[in-house]
Amino acid sequence: MRLLKSWVSSANSKFTEFPLNNLPYGVFSTTKLEKRCGIAIGDMILDCRAVEEAGLIKFSAGTMFKDPFWNNLMKLERNEWTRFRKEITLLLSLDTNPEKLINMLIPQSKVELHIPFVVSEFTDFWSCKYHAINAGTMLRGAENALPLNWNHMPIGYNGRASSVIVSGTNFNRPWGQLKRPNDTLPFLAPSKRFDFELEIGAIVGSKSNGPLTVQQADDIIFGYVLLNDWSARDIQAWEGQPLGPFQAKATATTISPWIVTKEALIPLQCGPPTRENELLDHLKDCGPMFYDISLTVSLTPQKGKPSIITQTNYKEMYYSSAQQIAHHSSSGCPMRVGDLIGSGTISGSQKSERGSMLELSWGGKEPLNLTNGGTRSFLEDLDTVTFHGKGTKEDFTIGFGNCTGTLLPALKYPY
Amino acid sequence: MRLLKSWVSSANSKFTEFPLNNLPYGVFSTTKLEKRCGIAIGDMILDCRAVEEAGLIKFSAGTMFKDPFWNNLMKLERNEWTRFRKEITLLLSLDTNPEKLINMLIPQSKVELHIPFVVSEFTDFWSCKYHAINAGTMLRGAENALPLNWNHMPIGYNGRASSVIVSGTNFNRPWGQLKRPNDTLPFLAPSKRFDFELEIGAIVGSKSNGPLTVQQADDIIFGYVLLNDWSARDIQAWEGQPLGPFQAKATATTISPWIVTKEALIPLQCGPPTRENELLDHLKDCGPMFYDISLTVSLTPQKGKPSIITQTNYKEMYYSSAQQIAHHSSSGCPMRVGDLIGSGTISGSQKSERGSMLELSWGGKEPLNLTNGGTRSFLEDLDTVTFHGKGTKEDFTIGFGNCTGTLLPALKYPY
């Protein structure tokens, strides 16, 4: 596949993250336009409500873009997702007369971006082996790093949808019940070991009822976003046994503003990793459901410059989102339109490829030197963490844009 | 407080579960009437949509009963909850001329009941000490039964809202990845250790943003339902470490069809249990937020008679729903209208008061004799489990009705 040419000239560069090949879906507003669905193309956004109101796209199911979220399109059959994408591609292609559409383009520099879909439920997995081994080694030693179940199924837990926020939304350092190894009693205090987790989230676009095969699970994935599963390591350490993470992960989960569709990612597909043991039939690999997407994390202190602290790749996953959803549905658990499925922290084999401060500073024992000055074990107040993700082919790029958030100081606790 | 008298004569018995003092909220349909909100009174249901359409109740916020769920009322301020309840009480009281209302009453025997509210997110706690000690003793021995954190905060995990169903909805035995202690490798099979858990669920009626005090948390509780947190013990045993229950609890969670409001339960309030250690300030008891509600569980085999297998009381809880929600929000986690908060399995101190088959059969080692014939370690296909809950005062009863479900055989796995 090669770069598709558009009459939006900024979309025709090898380096733009939003060429005609990408067309990611977001929600935006301007000082004049209320919140609505839009599609990124080059450095512009196509106003989907305007396109629909002008009769340039139609759906037999009725109006699709009166609401400021993408769930209405997600609810349609998969072939409607494809048809819509083809029609938008045609409207923006170099062969189309742009006359009717030019007024429906808004510069990205002029908009505010909002959460692109209503999150039904959020599930977070733990499916990258490098990360699981790093975390397990710190907790249980290298000999027992991976629990026995890890190589046989994607281990996950239900997260909290109410705290999913869009990139750029800042939040306050959480309070929590803490007890360090030498404390006699627990106490309530702001978390001192607050962390990020570099993840990618898959968005479920069709509901299901009953177990899904891996192929069926892949078929219901609508698209992907970058996802920061902010984590309070000290809250997690005290609350986590025996029922798993709860308040440690409930303060905020940040997603990038653009849904990159699964169709746009096809050129970046790759096969599964080498497996230590054969998976059970219902979880077996059945196609290239992993993706070659390079990921970077930068940390910017309050008055400092950004330092890149991690560079890794989404293809480091051990289980695909499709395998995660197949497992998720194995008990008969219904999946819903708008479910968000976190990959789990993505780390590579090298120290510079680790996807959390926990790993980068080895639990705080080896503080990380920031290339632009300072050191970090965990995040400090007013630190900004920014994820970036993109895949490149010979003459085009498919990008996610940024996923960023600033940790504000703790507020007073209301008691 | 004494029995309030109604012109609906069946509501005036000392034994009815739905006197004028109760007025629980449900959703019903008949062969003629589409799904709508209703209120139980004696053996009848008051059709709220009809009452609103006749102009007998009004809300400044607009129409409240066009949708077949109670979330619209829940979203209003708490004083509107109280005003509505007062007006309905007056409409149904013995002092009111029933002429306009008689046609808006439908016999309960003629209706189908539906889920009474849209569940936003489901959280399940583990807050009854007798149950926690029983489960912990089986897993870790009596010396280490309770984890260290247990006496300091309500331990909980996020569950799955998509699988919450209303009483009477049957479902199939789940498949899952299983590995028994002596198996070399895991395998996929229908769960063989399928169980119920006797719980009560609190329903959040107001959204929040940021930590709540225990009093604030209690203030946002709209009402309560009986809740069966069906559990596959063998799936749980293999998947549960280190991130907690996931597919073991995702097949179904059954709730009773009537929301008993917090106001109706005021006569049944009681104080907290004796505490082994002082709770931290943000979780401290601050009023009678526990309830004296007797609970029974019966098990009915396919062609058998019901046997009562458990009798216990909701006042056996160690943490109240208010304390659970205060903890739930401590990290800043936003609570939403329609969140469902499971108490955790309710067990008493005696063997006959245990709220799960796991405890009743001591992990299958001591199969339970059913009073009406047969034995059980865990549930068998076509077993029906029914919960019942009610509180009694001198001359009236406040009841929840039944919470029931039948375990159908496993379906074929689609691979």
Supply φ then ψ for residue A41, to 5 degrees: -145, 115
Residue position matching structure tokens 């009562």: B308
The residues in B 102-141 lying below 8 A from A, measured between CB atoms, are 120-121, 126, 139
Whether A378 has a pLDDT exceeding 90, the answer reads: yes
Nearest residue in chain B measured CA to CA from A181: B148
Gap between the Cα atoms of B23 and A307, Å rounded? 61
Contacts of A156 in chain B (CB under 8 A): 243, 246
Contacts of B139 in chain A (CB under 8 A): 242
Measure A100 CA to nearest chain B CA, in Å.
40
Distance of CA B167 to the CA centre of its chain: 10
Whether A276 has a pLDDT exceeding 90, the answer reads: no
Chain B within 8 Å of A248 (Cβ-Cβ)? yes
Neighbours of B188 (CB within 10 A): 17
Q: pLDDT tens digits for A70-83?
A: 999 999 999 999 99
Chain B within 8 Å of A338 (Cβ-Cβ)? no
Gap between the Cα atoms of A98 and A103, Å rounded? 9
B376 falls in which pLDDT band (50, 70, 90)? very high
Chain B interface disruption, residue of A330, A331, A407, A412, most B CBs within 10 A? A331
Cβ atoms of A162 and B335 within 8 Å: the answer is yes
Q: Which residue spans of chain A are classified as CATH 3.90.850.10?
A: 122-408
A180's CB contacts (< 8 A; 6+ apart) are A234
Whether B139 has a pLDDT exceeding 90, the answer reads: no
Whether A240 has a pLDDT exceeding 80, the answer reads: yes
Q: Please indicate whether, in this complex, the C-beta atoms of B282 and A415 are within 8 angstroms of each other.
A: yes
Q: pLDDT tens digits for B64-112?
A: 999 999 999 999 999 999 999 999 999 999 999 999 999 999 999 999 9
Quick one: average pLDDT of A381-407? Answer: 97
DSSP A170-186: -EEPPEEEE--TT-SS-
- What beta strand segments (E) does A307-364 contain? 307-313, 340-342
Q: Which residue spans of chain A are classified as CATH 2.30.30.230?
A: 9-114
- pLDDT more than 70, % of chain B: 100
The one-letter amino acid code at A220 reads I
Catalytic entry in B114, B131, B328, B388:
B131
Residue position matching structure tokens 């300091």: B152
Neighbours of B5 (CB within 10 A): 15
Whether A253 has a pLDDT exceeding 80, the answer reads: yes
Mean pLDDT of chain A: 97
The pLDDT of residue A139 is 87
Alpha-helical runs (H) found in B151-249: 214-219, 233-239
Quick one: average pLDDT of B43-51? Answer: 98
Q: Please indicate whether, in this complex, the C-beta atoms of A282 and B163 are within 8 angstroms of each other.
A: no
Supply φ then ψ for residue B317, to 5 degrees: -65, 150
Helix (H, G, I), strand (E, B) or coil at B176: strand
Q: Please indicate whether, in this complex, the C-beta atoms of B332 and A242 are within 8 angstroms of each other.
A: no
Residue position matching structure tokens 């299983």: B178
Gap between the Cα atoms of A68 and A36, Å rounded? 4
Class of domain A9-114: mainly beta
Catalytic entry in A131, A327, A328, A388:
A131
> Domain A122-408 belongs to what topology?
Fumarylacetoacetate hydrolase; domain 2 (3.90.850)
Quick one: average pLDDT of A89-102? Answer: 96
Q: Please indicate whether, in this complex, the C-beta atoms of B414 and A281 are within 8 angstroms of each other.
A: no
Rg of chain B over all Cα atoms, to the nearest angstrom: 21
Quick one: average pLDDT of A3-27? Answer: 98
Strands B269-270 and B290-291: antiparallel
Cβ atoms of A399 and A415 within 8 Å: the answer is no
Supply φ then ψ for residue A303, to 5 degrees: -115, 25
The one-letter amino acid code at B137 reads T
Q: Residue B154 class from Cβ within 10 Å (0-12 exposed, 13-18 middle, 19+ buried)?
A: buried
Q: pLDDT tens digits for A181-210?
A: 999 999 999 999 999 999 999 999 999 999
Residue A282 among the catalytic residues: no
Measure B149 CA to nearest chain A CA, in Å.
7
The residues in A 178-197 lying below 8 A from B, measured between CB atoms, are 179, 185-188
Q: Please indicate whether, in this complex, the C-beta atoms of B334 and A156 are within 8 angstroms of each other.
A: no
